[in-house]
């Protein structure tokens, strides 16, 4: 189960070398990748794994193998810069371990995810509160709510705030690196272009449609932003290879973007069908159960967030109406029920 994929080396058309460093980022065997970029102005690490279980050890083993197995004149302490592609724990949770091993690299992230790093404890409290309000509105029953919130809290315990030295800015490329802000999966999600190679992080993956959460939980996430970000990536020319934060490399970026867009169209149709064919207006929780059948544990929470992302997208664009407006007006935080307009 916990089989680690090999370290891979890639060359860009403008002379950079990229090492893909595999890590088991979650105890269930989920694999994530960090990338080491050599040959630019300074050795740069992109992402740092989760810090759970063996993740940081996998990262360090990978960094050492770059010299030992690939013969690079590179030492872990040579890294001068760590770029975090987005504020999800499987990408930054291992950052303090990485910094300890490296020494004192400059750390950067997009401004919209900066607080996740610098004010982590505050961020957890605010995000947890937003999630709880969201789940009540989504129609989750009290017992279930307690269970889901416990699960959510459990996944956040090992990380502490740390400092960010500069922010990633689309208008300020670094030597050999261009940045694109591609929110949707995460508010501060960035993709990084290195010549003919695109590091797409979790914005574009080859097999999975990246997880999207409702924007009412966190600004700049959700289906609307995600679709805009896909369109932004569709304008890129000359990308030969796309490397994500998980899963295998993508050879045809534009074909993959097209698939992801089609899946979103289908999902929107499916949500409308579910609501249309019900004999009463539905909550997000009811829609989620039909949209994502047979989900357990943490996946229930992800399904609820994702169903809400699709419902919000359709509501904002005038496809849905709130059916229990009177209740919504008079109760504190009632669950919302949707009908098709």
Q: How far is the CB of 178 from Zn ion (least distance, A)?
A: 21
Sequence-distant (6+) residues with CB within 8 A of 282 are 274, 275, 337, 338
Per CB under 5 A, the segment of 58-66, 164-172, 194-202, 260-268 that binds Zn ion is: 194-202
Q: How far is the CB of 245 from Zn ion (least distance, A)?
A: 5
C-alpha 289/C-alpha 309 separation (Å) is 14
User: Which residue among 47, 90, 113, 286 contacts Zn ion (CB under 5 A)?
Assistant: 90
Question: Per rule CB under 5 A, is residue 202 in the interface with Zn ion?
Answer: yes
Per CB under 5 A, the segment of 8-16, 72-80, 81-89, 304-312 that binds Zn ion is: 81-89
Q: How far is the CB of 89 from Zn ion (least distance, A)?
A: 9
DSSP β-ladder status, 8-11 and 17-24: antiparallel
Per CB under 5 A, the segment of 115-123, 162-170, 237-245, 276-284 that binds Zn ion is: 237-245
Per CB under 5 A, the segment of 69-77, 215-223, 240-248, 275-283 that binds Zn ion is: 240-248
Question: Per rule CB under 5 A, is residue 88 in the interface with Zn ion?
Answer: yes
C-alpha 223/C-alpha 235 separation (Å) is 19
Structure tokens at 258: 């097209």
Q: How far is the CB of 90 from Zn ion (least distance, A)?
A: 4
Residue 284 burial (C-beta neighbours within 10 Å; 0-12, 13-18, 19+): buried
DSSP 8-state code for residue 39: S
90 or 132: whose CB is closer to Zn ion? 90
Number of residues counted as binding Zn ion (CB under 5 A):
4
Question: Per rule CB under 5 A, is residue 47 in the interface with Zn ion?
Answer: no
33 or 74: whose CB is closer to Zn ion? 33
3-class DSSP state for residue 224? Answer: helix
Closest to 184 in 3D by CA, of 246, 261, 299: 261
56 or 285: whose CB is closer to Zn ion? 56
21 or 323: whose CB is closer to Zn ion? 21
Closest to 81 in 3D by CA, of 67, 64, 98, 94: 98
CA 206: distance to chain centroid? 14
Q: How far is the CB of 239 from Zn ion (least distance, A)?
A: 20
Q: What is the side-by-side order of every strand in the sheet holding 81-83?
A: 8-11, 17-24, 31-38, 44-46, 81-83, 106-109, 166-167
Q: How far is the CB of 325 from Zn ion (least distance, A)?
A: 35
* Buried-exposed string 69-101: b where 16+ CB fall within 10 A, e elsewhere: eeebebebebbebbbbbbbbbbbbbbbbbbbeb
187 or 283: whose CB is closer to Zn ion? 187
Q: Position of tokens 């295998």?
A: 248
Q: How far is the CB of 34 from Zn ion (least distance, A)?
A: 11
10 or 226: whose CB is closer to Zn ion? 226
Q: Which positions lie near Zn ion, rule CB under 5 A? A: 88, 90, 202, 245
């Amino acid at each position: 189960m916990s089989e680690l994929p090999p370290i891979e080396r890639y060359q860009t058309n403008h002379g950079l070398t990229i090492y893909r460093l595999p890590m088991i980022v979650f105890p269930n065997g989920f694999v994530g990748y960090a990338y080491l970029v050599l040959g630019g102005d300074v050795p740069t690490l992109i992402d740092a794994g989760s810090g759970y279980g063996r993740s940081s050890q996998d990262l360090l083993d990978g960094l050492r193998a770059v010299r030992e197995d690939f013969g690079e004149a590179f030492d872990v302490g040579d890294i001068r810069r760590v770029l975090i592609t987005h504020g999800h724990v499987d990408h930054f949770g291992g950052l303090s371990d990485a910094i300890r091993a490296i020494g004192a690299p400059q750390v950067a992230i997009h401004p919209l995810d900066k607080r996740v790093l610098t004010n982590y404890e505050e961020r957890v409290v605010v995000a947890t509160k937003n999630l709880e309000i969201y789940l009540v509105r989504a129609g989750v029953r009290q017992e279930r709510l307690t269970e889901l919130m416990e699960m959510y809290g459990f996944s956040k315990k090992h990380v502490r705030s740390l400092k960010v030295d500069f922010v990633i800015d689309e208008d300020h490329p670094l030597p050999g690196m261009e940045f694109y802000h591609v929110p949707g999966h995460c508010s501060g999600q960035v993709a990084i272009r290195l010549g003919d190679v695109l590091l797409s992080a979790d914005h574009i993956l080859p097999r999975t449609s990246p997880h999207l959460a409702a924007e009412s939980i966190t600004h700049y996430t959700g289906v609307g932003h995600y679709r805009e970000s896909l369109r932004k990536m569709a304008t890129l020319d000359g990308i030969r290879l796309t490397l994500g934060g998980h899963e295998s490399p993508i050879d045809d970026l534009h074909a993959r973007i097209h698939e992801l867009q089609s899946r979103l169209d289908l999902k929107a149709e499916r949500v409308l069908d579910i609501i249309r064919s019900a004999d009463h207006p539905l909550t997000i929780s009811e829609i989620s159960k039909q949209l994502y059948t047979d989900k357990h544990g943490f996946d229930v929470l992800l399904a609820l967030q994702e169903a809400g992302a699709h419902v919000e997208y359709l509501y904002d664009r005038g496809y849905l109406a709130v059916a229990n407006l009177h209740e919504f007006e008079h109760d504190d935080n009632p669950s919302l029920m949707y009908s098709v307009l």
